[in-house]
Structures are given as C-alpha cells and as structure tokens.
Amino acid sequence: MATDFKFPDVGEGIHEGKIVKWLVKEGDVVKSDQPLVEVETDKAVVELPSPAAGKILKITHKEGESVKVGEVLVSIGDEGEKATAVSPIAPSIVSKIVEAVKGPAPVAPVLEKPKRVLAAPATRGLARELGVNIETIKGTGPAGRVTPEDVKNAASRRVVSREGAPIAIKEEKVVVSTETGETRIPLSGLRKIIADRMSYSKSHIPDAVGMDLVNVTRLVAVREREKANAEKTGAHLTYLPFIVKAVVIGLKKYPKFNANFDEEKQEIVLKPRFNVSIAVDTPDGLMAPVIKDADRKSIIDISKEIVQLAELSRTRKIKLEDLQGGTFTITNVGSVGSMFSVPIINPPQVAIMGVHRIKDMPVVVDGKIKIGKVMGISLAFDHRVADGAEATLFMNEVMKHLEEPELLLIEMI
C-alpha cells in the first residue's frame, strides 16, 4: 500500500514550512529514514526522513513553496500504486522532529564547527567589499570553490533601495514594475516569521522601556588585557560574553525577567534555567540562537559558543534545538553603530536588553570630570509582569557588574 507522507504537526507554534530543497526526485527508490527534503520551519532548516521504503510516486510541492501542517509532501509506494494515507507513519516522524525542536533539556548542545566554503583570500575580500556572505554562495569552481564570478553574480541579485542600502532578497520572488519602477518583495520564509512574531509582540504585549548609560572604561581595559589570553584558548573575546554574565547575575536577583507570560492562564512562569538568546543578523533576517545554561559557563566558553552559533545562523546550518528554550534576549545593535534603540520583546519571553555602541564621553569620577568609555543600554519589558522600579533595579545590577568587571573575572576560569 502506498503512503502519503504529510507534513506533521510538531507543536512549538509551527504551522507551516517552506520547501528549501528536495533531496530526491519522482521515480527514485528510497530507503526508510533516508533524507527526503529540507524544510525551513521556525527559523531553521530541518531534514525530513522517509517514513517508508519504496519509489517516489509523486512530489506535491516545488522548492520555494510553502506547506501547511497536514498537507501531503510526497507519495511513496510501488510502481502503479495509488497513494493512500497511512496513519501510523506520522508519530515516528513527529518524534524525530520534536527531538530536533526541543533537544535534551538538561544538557547544552554540542556544536559542530561549520565547514567553510572553499575560496581564495582575494575572493573573500571581494565578497566583503560587495557586502555578500560568501558562506551562502554555491561555488562553481573546481571542488566547489567559490570564484570571483560567483561573488559578482550573488551581488547582482541584491536590490538597492532609494537610500542606496543593499537589500538581500531571493531573486525569484522579486517583482519589479516596469511602469512605476517599484520593487515588491513578498514576505516569505524567515522574514515572514519575523514579521508575524514582531507584530504579535507589539499588538499583545504592553511593553515599557528603560534606558541608561554605563561607564564601561574598566570593562574595555579588562577585555583588552584578557584578549590575548583568550585567543590562546581559541576564543575571540568580545564584550558580549561579559554582558551575558552580568545579565545572568541580574536575572538571578530579579527572576521576574527570566520568565514567560502564559496568556491563557494569566500566569507568570519563572524559568529555572538561564538560557540567553543572542540576536544575530543574517542575510535572511534576524535569528536568536540560545546560550543554554549561561550561568554554568565561563566567559571563555560563552565567547566560543557565541561565535559558533552566529556562524551556524548565518550559514543556515543552525539546529532547531539551538533556537528554542530562550528565557531572555540580548540584542547587540552597537555593533552597527547605534547609540540607543527600543528593542521588541521576543514572545513568550518578557524582556529584552539592547546594548549599544561604546563611545568616548565625559564622566564624573571622584568628583572630577574625565573622558571615559560609555555604553548605552535599554531594557524593554512586559509591564504586566514587572513595574518600572523593578526594571530599574535589574538594570542597575547589570550595570554594576559591567562597571566593575573584576567581579566577573572569576568566571574566566
């Protein structure tokens, strides 16, 4: 009896996916558990295995198309058979995907170092100059090497806005009007997920925002001093790991901000684990991989993990379990020059902290005005969960540990 393999309901708020790549074609003979298709769902790309052995009779969705939960992806059977849905198939497949989505709760994920594409230094320099992520380019040179022509072709597929800023888009989705000159880009994939989540956040969460300036002069000095030692361990030490540790200390003292809000039951759910989501800018949109159990990890460990997760996100090799379970988010907009911002809460979390550019500014130290290193921070929080006074106290705790980074140095071990 032939089998209709339907896109399963795996929970976690996943209602649809997008076909990224078919790994088989009609007429192919496949084995049970053989990878069939790559589907983009909830910001990650998942490989779905075959529920049965047999011949691919029909593929119902093309690459780039969306598929909703319950819709047939592919029919598998013997030549001449008519496809018929078989209910016992779904649970085994669901269990595989649920395991990928949730991951083992108590253990932090073991990250594989992503393979870099083959490219000459000059080609990588050209990619940086043209603003193209070379890791996303499929090389046409020998052994898959990316050539300068590949980089130029990728750059040509970017549309330029009226302000001159390049907008990375998928070529096949762009519609340019020959009459008005307007470019229309349908929301799809990751961009659509971001739009839906941010719209929900702003329309459902009564958020408030607190802002302050932090004198990070000593933090800058500590990071500069420890950078060489960190490199000996293979870590690229930035300010972000220090910020993560300072935030965790604040969350332990003010646990309301390490929480979810259950709208249905009208309950604040305090989380026992400190899983910090880190916003990462990728060519396809913002992603938020999670540093699991950040309170149990050293600054060096966090530094290494941030680099790995960011690279996996930008190359779209990130696993679903690395995007799930966050309890608080940090977004580093200072890396692109922002002095202040109002970040949007990532539901069902109840707070997000924005950290900004470090700038030389006058500061008062022991009654005297000096030039110091100053960083702006902002905290957006759910006003149903906490009030402004609590948010200020939480921010003060974080600021204290950023202003006195020696309090964190023990975590370098």
Q: Where are the domains of the chain?
A: 2-102, 121-186, 190-412
Does the fold of domain 190-412 match that of domain 2-102? no
| Helix-then-strand count for the chain, H and E | 8, 23
Give me the pLDDT at residue 9, please.
Answer: 67
Locate the DSSP E strands across 234-367. Answer: 259-262, 267-270, 276-278, 280-282, 285-287, 290-291, 328-332, 351-365
How much is the pLDDT for 82?
A: 60
The CATH architecture assigned to 2-102 reads: Beta Barrel (2.40)
CATH among 3.30.559.10, 3.30.230.10, 3.40.430.10, 1.20.120.1200 for 190-412:
3.30.559.10
* Strand (E) or helix (H) holding 249: helix 240-253
> What pLDDT, on the 0 to 100 scale, is given for residue 307?
92
pLDDT at 331: 94
By the 8 A CB rule, do 410 and 301 touch?
no
Catalytic residue among 61, 204, 236, 383: 383
Q: Give the pLDDT score at 411.
A: 45
Amino acid 43: pLDDT: 56
Structure confidence at residue 196 (pLDDT): 83
Beta bridge partners of 152: none
pLDDT value at residue 11: 53
Give the Cα separation of 225 and 219 in Å (integer).
10
User: What are the per-10-residue average pLDDT scores of the chain (413 residues)?
Assistant: 75 70 88 84 73 87 84 82 48 50 43 62 68 78 79 58 41 66 77 83 92 95 90 90 96 96 90 95 86 94 94 86 92 83 92 95 92 96 95 96 81 43
In the residue annotation, 383 being an active-site residue is answered as yes
Predicted pLDDT at 108: 43
pTM of the entire predicted model: 0.65
Structure tokens belonging to residue 42:
């909830």
Residue by residue, DSSP assigns 12-76 as TT--EEEEEEESS-TT-EE-TT-EEEEEEETTEEEEEEPSS-EEEEEE-S-TT-EEETT-EEEEE
For residue 376, the model assigns a pLDDT of 95
Alpha carbons 115 and 371: distance in angstroms, whole number: 44
pLDDT of residue 276: 97
